[in-house]
Homo-oligomer: A and B are copies of this chain.
């Protein structure tokens, strides 16, 4: 009996110490293992859409990856047009903010299939990639096409070579920053010039 009592006493004595060690150990494991991070992410409320999410965001919607300077502008245009979309964004604070504003958003690295799955890619009408990282882009396209072969893909690229390469692969509509810039400037010049011409 004294042995059991002794163990109980030791256990009780160690309890606060063990508990205080849980969080640092968890952080250590998360920092060292990608697998642990992935498992952990599944319990993160921002990594999946809330159960209360409106049905319209779960099918025939647009999945928008990245809510930076480009993504946020695309989102604003879709909102103005009443197009339903789910944002997939790495920054958790941004996802929390978007949810506060009533938007559907999930957090996580979009190269991880789980993130696109949570954004209901399987039923989506379109995948719009507003992040320019070519490695993430290929992984995402693979996931999207596997889960939803009919999905329409709209991509953004940074470099001209990457843009030509992706266009050749025929996986979607590729947009290249400097080309769009030139288009915008040129159409302004053409329009202004015709005004000047006719005005004088």
Contacts and interface: CB of A to CB of B under 8 A. Distances in A.
Given A190-B83, A193-B81, A196-B125, A130 B185 contact: yes
Interface residues of A, number: 41
How many copies of the chain does the oligomer comprise?
2
Contact of A77 (B70, B126, B190): B190
Given A125-B196, A196-B125, A73 B189 contact: no
Interface in A159-185: 160, 173, 175-185
Given A126-B189, A126-B193, A182 B69 contact: yes
- The secondary structure that dominates the A interface is helix
A200 B81 CA distance: 18
Nearest to A85: B189
A175 B181 contact: yes
